[in-house]
Structure 1
Amino acid sequence: MLFLIAASLFVGTGGAFGAWALLKLIAIATNIFWFGRFSASPALITDSSIGFGVAIIPVIGSLIIGLMARFGSDKIRGHGIPEAIEAILYGESRLSPKVAFLKPLSSAISIGSGGPFGAEGPIIMTGGAIGSLFAQCFHLSAAERKTLLVAGAAAGMTAIFGTPVAAILLAVEVLLFEWKPRSFVPVVVAALVSLAWRPLLVGSGPLFPFHGVPVTGWLVMVGAAGIGLLVGLEAVLLSTLLYRIEDQFHRLPIHWMWWPALGAIVVGVGGLIDAHVLGAGYQSIQDLLNGSLATRVVFALFVVKAVVWLVALGSGTSGGVLAPLLILGGACASLVGLAVGANPGFCAMLGMAGILSGAMRAPLTGAVFAAELTGHFDSLPAAFAASVCAYAVSVLIMRRSILTEKISRRGRHILQEYSVDPFDFLQAGQIMTAKPEMLSGSTTIGETIAFFGSTAKHRSYPVTNDDGRLLGLVSRSDVLRWQVENAPRDSALSDVVSDASQPFAAPQAPVGVVADLMVETGVGRIPIVDPSTSRVIGILSRHDLLKARRIGVEAERARSR
């Protein structure tokens, strides 16, 4: 853990500078595509006066991305987080330098040319690649690479949004698939290091501050819960539509390299309807929170943004999901606020918390992310009400999240629920077979060969002396070896077995420790020895390990008074 903490200082710095570079690349691409100038200064697509060129520029950008994915790396396709999850669980947390370079570049081109995406998915992939590459340089284990990959992802997200707590929670809820000091502490260190760099690289303070937030009263909580239920349904609908659209692209009789350009045609048409739907839309998020958008524009964000985002993402181009989800959830909740006479900005914040929770199955991240983005930590109770209600709707209706559904379509199902491993809290004495059959040390080799050839039920048996103390273990392989070597048939087992290398365990040992012992030694039946008397009191076999699973299943299903 201490080594990984030291490494996370460098990974956190790398994630912060990676985020800075990504933002600069997006600004450069935006200026080139929409204003015809080379500049890294922030620019809004809505300020462009390019006319019907709005319909063409997204197509040009998507053609470039298709070429980069075809001849560079197809890992740049998609929204980044599913690819990071897949690399963690199935790729030993190895990401290539090519991905670290091409992912931010392709995402900058996509967003800069009008793609309706955010920078968070790409920076999670980019920061993760920085952490993975750092780990690979030092020849670390897969578990250690995972820690640094996630540390880099959290650092990148912190630098972009200034939300260290939400980045840490996202790491825990979505990426780490564990809660261990070895992984949690370095991730926190990397996020805090990135936060320290942020004022110098990106800026300080909440990314989307706004005023006028009511935070108390039962009516606020009830309203927040209602918004959560609504945007939870919206998250389910968006996820369903996204993958149905993706299925339609897969049926096209042309190479996937051209799909982003086809999707960009819809993006261009959406831009002609309302230019607010183009690009990352951070200004639109701010306007939603301020409540300064006309109802027509809010409705356009709600409908047109959803259409262009779903089609573009379904086409396999490069871009993130967090910012579009914030806009869509915020627009939906803002319309509700306008309809009932509530504060539309506060409703938008609750909608943002809820839709992130419902779509990504990350309720803690959704609530805290909304509070950190706006600086309204006093609104956390209401944000949690919206977030948890949206989460409940999502898990009751949708089998998988918008992130894991993509991976499941490749034949890999991922469960995002955390629970304690029964192997870690059950003890060997609870699942062992008590009073096992044993062989006496005075038994001869000839008698043992006859026993294994006739009545033996197991592959191995413990050998004990007259006091029941363990002498060793005799297996079928030992019997075969004695037959091949013509060992003296009158030799006693006590003379040919040894307890020097014989694995055994105490009844208080965690089942996981015994399972690890089986893996390390190759012995499938471990004697359980009473430490006070040194006598064999049981045996734990591979079959006994399944009892731990059965105990867990019974705890879930068996109901009693």
Structure 2
Amino acid sequence: MPLYKKYKLPLLWLRRHTSSREFMLISSALVGLTAGMAAVILKTIVHYLYLMLAYGGRLLDTPVLLVVLPIIGILLTVMVIQLFFKGKVEGGTAGILYSIAQKSSIVRRSKMYSYVITSGITAGFGGSAGLESPIVVTGSAIGSNFGRSYHLNYRERTLLLACGAAAGVAAVFNAPVAGVLFAIEILLTDISISAFIPLMIAAVVGTLCSTLTLDEDLLFYVEKINDFYAGNIPFYMVLGALTGLISVYYTRTVHWIEAIFEPLAGKVYKRALIGGLCLGLLIMLFPPLFGQGYEAIKLLQHDNAELLLKDSWLRFFGTNEWVVLCFAGALALVKVIASTLTLVSGGKGGNFGPSMFVGAFAGFFFAKLVNLTALGNVPVNSFTMVGMAGILSGVMHAPLMGIFLIAEITGGYALIIPLMIVSATSYAVVKYFEPYSLEAKKLAQKGQLLTHNKDATVLRIMKIRHLIETEFQAISPEATLRDLVDVIAHSRRNLFPVVDANGTLAGIILLEDIREIMFNTSRYDTVKTKELMVKPPVLVQHDDSMADVMKKFDTSGAWNLPVVEGDKYLGFVSKSSIFTKYRKLLIKTTNV
């Protein structure tokens, strides 16, 4: 018997002999365990590959390798995707949102391992992207496919998908609360209280995976943090506004660079070479951009910021405090460019880690500037950490996750007040300029962002082809009034499509419009239906979205609208059938 079938047998027995709630609790633990171990594997591979390239024998002392290694990593990633995954490793967190909304939370099985492989290669060879989004995709795919294997319904499958994502985030940062809040704020904005327990179980199991198996060097943590001083509140408020503006810059820069590379979408190797070369040149000027960048953040925490310039050509300007300050400020801005180049050129990763990098350097820059200009005396390490929460809140549109992630990383809640101030301020500033998060903006522009709006989600799930009514009696334009009256006598409808011999919709006839003439028998053989028909107020194309269809109903005021493919008549769609289907789907998709 195959191994996977032996694995399924005990769970099939549990599925039959436990309640749905009990099975979901067991499932959440198993999904959390699997997603947590996937996170551990990915972190371990990238960590040791990075150490080998960056520190083993100081390979990066040779500046040309700063250009070559990222290009090699991106090219290898593209080759693996093309050869082994048929070019289909796409989506990131936005792809998971799309799967929840439009694919009934069904994620391709290959995503359970494809992102581990491809993002590991990209980041390990110096690609300036994060591993957190790939881990989210991997965990989500594990949860989704677990649900598919045991024939769970949409709500249960969606919950397990979120459990996998929560476990992945929790494992990466040793932060179970942040994992739960990530799932709630980004994936499950419409959630019931009953879903919290499976999410918490998955997050705790994922955290235990990393705690028990990973060395401290592989986990991002802070040894010491300064106590909060209420007198610094004005500075924290300014930092919140600053990180909000930087978050707007982050989002718009990403989409601007993506637009530049759009013409190269089908030329994967050319795009990899161009993007990789640009990335390598940036890393030559700013070596801390190599890899995820957590080593650089640790230098800030230990007050060793001058070491950031050690391998950079810019070190010839000196290493005094003002040069270091300018270098750190520049890093906060160019990290956005570097991470976007990594992704648009074909590398795999995400913006979660880069957001933390940008936030840390923005916080460091602001605190150092305040101290050097004698405007105040603020704790640099505290502002460095709080800045991370500000950018996470702004870029990801997840202020609660940003607050509690940094609180858990710092080992307590000493900074909870400044974290709340900075995250709330940053989020408020960003929402004014950008109503959608970085991951959601492109989906929103396409009308595909549905997880944040239950009505839109339901409408998007509905398809016109499933709602077409074909029992309307069609009649030829050349038919006489007598023929029409005969059709009316055998129909229970009050609307009749006029269709020519080629199947083209010529017009429609409403019973109320011909009520008077239909009783005039003297005209039965002289009046043709083409003289009685009218043009429909609007046509519905067979591939229209349901949102477009509802707009057409609103503008026309009609209760039934004809559906065509091109100009070929297919049938009618009615408001009543849409409302009936809507109610059924709303019940199905509510209370995840």
Same fold at TM > 0.5: yes
Give the fraction of aligned pairs with identical amino acids, expressed as a percent: 27
Of 26, 41, 48, which residue of structure 1 is paired with 2:46?
26
Q: Which residue of 2 aligns with 1:290?
A: 302
Are residues 1:242 and 2:254 paired? yes
Alignment of 1:366-381 (within 5 A): 366-381=402-417
Preserved CA contact (<8 Å) 1:66 1:261: no
- Number of positions where the alignment pairs a residue of Structure 1 with one of Structure 2: 429
Give the direction of change, closer, same or farther, for the CA distance of 1:231–1:412 in structure 2 (3 Å limit): same
Work out whether 1:311 is the aligned partner of 2:341.
yes
Counterpart amino acid of 1:329?
A: G
Query: What pairs up with 1:275-424 in 2 under 5 angstroms?
Result: 275-294=287-306, 295=324, 297-341=327-371, 342-414=378-450, 416=452
Aligned 8 A contact 1:130 1:152 in 2? yes
1:5 aligned to 15, 25, 28, which one?
Answer: 25
**Given that residues 254 and 336 in structure 2 are in contact (C-alpha distance below 8 angstroms), is that contact kept between their aligned partners in structure 1?**
no
Structure 1 equivalent of residue 196 of structure 2: 184
For residues 458 and 172 of structure 1, the distance between their equivalents in structure 2, rounded to whole angstroms, comes to 49
Distance 1:376 1:258 in 2: 48
Give the one of 193, 196, 208 matched to 2:205.
193
Counterpart secondary structure, 1:117? coil
Alignment of 1:458-469 (within 5 A): none
Per the TM alignment, residue 67 of structure 1 is displaced from its structure 2 partner at its CA by: 2.2
C-alpha contact 1:242 1:314 (8 A) present in aligned 2: no
Q: CA deviation at 1:29?
A: 3.6
* CA distance in structure 2 between the aligned counterparts of 1:142 and 1:417, rounded to whole angstroms: 17
Change (3 A) 1:45 1:241: farther
**How is 1:123-138 mapped onto 2 (pairs within 5 angstroms)?**
123-138=135-150
Distance 1:417 1:367, change over 3 A: farther
178, 181, 197: which is aligned to 1:169? 181
Letter in 1 for 2:343: L
Please tell me the residue identity of whatever aligns with 2:337.
V
Pick which of 201-210 and 283-292 moved more: 201-210
Does the CA-based 8 Å contact 1:128-1:149 persist in structure 2? yes
CA distance in 1 between partners of 2:452 and 2:108 (Å): 26
Contact 2:328–2:361 (CA under 8 A) maintained in structure 1: yes
Q: CA deviation at 1:418?
A: 8.9
Q: Distance in 1 between matches of 2:453 and 2:388?
A: 22
Give, in whole Å, the separation in 2 of the partners of 1:75 and 1:227: 40
Which residue of the partner structure matches residue 558 of structure 1? none
What residue is the counterpart of 2:245 in the other structure?
233
Of the three residues 239, 252, 263, the one matched with 1:251 is 263
The DSSP-based 3-state class of the residue aligned with 2:414 is helix
Q: State the shift of 1:95 in Å.
A: 2.1
| Equivalent runs, 1:105-144 vs 2, <5 Å | 105-144=117-156
Deviates more, 1:109-118 or 1:314-323: 314-323
Offset from partner CA, 1:481-525 (integer Å, 9 cap, x none): xxxxxxxxxxxxxxxxxxxxxxxxxxxxxxxxxxxxxxxxxxx9x
For 1:408, give the aligned amino acid.
Answer: A
Q: Distance in 2 between matches of 1:329 and 1:121?
A: 17
Query: 2:222 maps to which residue?
Result: 209
Please give the alpha-carbon distance, in whole angstroms, between the structure 2 residues aligned to 1:260 and 1:184: 42
Query: Residues 224 and 401 from structure 1, CA distance in 2 versus in 1: closer, same or farther, beyond 3 angstroms?
Result: same
Alpha-carbon distance change, 75 to 377 in structure 1, aligned in 2, over 3 angstroms: farther
Output the amino acid matched with 2:328: V
Contact 2:98/2:449 (CA < 8 Å) preserved in 1? no
- Identify unmatched segments of 5+ residues in structure 1: 36-42, 422-452, 460-523, 525-540, 549-561
Change (3 A) 1:104 1:182: same
Determine the C-alpha separation between the residues in 2 that align with 1:324 and 1:279: 10
**Residue in structure 1 matched with residue 572 of structure 2 by the alignment:** none
Residue 36 of structure 2 is matched in structure 1 by: 16
Q: CA deviation at 1:118?
A: 1.6
In the alignment, the residues of structure 2 paired with residue 220 and residue 76 of structure 1 have an alpha-carbon distance, to the nearest angstrom, of 46
TM-aligned CA distance change 1:340 to 1:180, over 3 Å: same
C-alpha deviation, 1:235, in angstroms: 0.5
Shift of 1:197: 2.6
The amino acid of 2:399's aligned partner reads P
Shift of 1:156: 1.2
Give distance in 1, aligned partners of 2:410 and 2:346: 31
Partner Cα distance (2:234, 2:137) in 1: 37
Deviation at 1:258, TM superposition (A): 3.7
Decide whether aligned partners of structure 1 residues 213 and 458 sit closer, same or farther in structure 2, where only a CA change above 3 A counts.
Answer: farther
CA distance in 1 between partners of 2:416 and 2:232 (Å):
12
Q: Deviations over 1:213-272 (max 9, x none)?
A: 23131x322221211111111001110011111011112385245423321112211221
Matched, 1:150 2:162: yes
Checking the alignment, whether the CA contact within 8 Å between 1:160 and 1:202 is kept in structure 2 is no
Q: Distance in 2 between matches of 1:111 and 1:386?
A: 29
C-alpha distance in 2 between matches for 1:327 and 1:344: 15
Out of 68, 82, 85, the position equivalent to 1:70 is: 82
- The change in CA–CA distance for 1:278 and 1:46 in structure 2 (over 3 A counts) is farther
State the distance in 1 between where 2:241 and 2:258 align.
Answer: 26
Q: Which moved more, 1:256-265 or 1:7-16?
A: 256-265
315-324 or 144-153, which moves further after superposition?
315-324
1:109-155 deviations in whole A, cap 9, x for unaligned?
00011111121111111111111221121111122111111101111
Query: Quick one: which of 73, 83, 108 aligns to 2:95?
Result: 83
Per the alignment, do residues 386 and 359 of structure 1 end up closer, same or farther by CA in structure 2, a change over 3 Å counting? same
Distance 1:134 1:417, change over 3 A: closer
CA deviation digits over 1:354-388, x for unaligned, max 9? Answer: 11001111111111111111224121111010001
Q: Is the 8 A contact 2:224 2:410 kept in 1?
A: no
Q: Which sections of structure 2, spanning at least 5 residues, go unmatched?
A: 1-20, 307-323, 372-377, 458-488, 496-558, 560-575, 584-592
User: Runs ≥4 in structure 1, deviation > 6 angstroms?
Assistant: 44-47, 456-459, 541-545
How big is each residue's C-alpha offset from its partner over 1:192-225, in whole Å with a ceiling of 9 and x where there is no partner? 11222322212469732143423131x3222212
The 8 Å contact of residues 285 and 326 in structure 1, kept in 2 or not, is answered as no
SS at match of 1:123: helix
Q: Partner letter of residue 298 of structure 2?
A: Q
Q: Distance in 1 between matches of 2:265 and 2:210?
A: 46
Task: Please report the TM-score for the alignment, with normalisation by the length of structure 2.
Answer: 0.66
Q: What CA distance in whole angstroms lies between the structure 2 residues aligned with 1:253 and 1:172?
A: 33
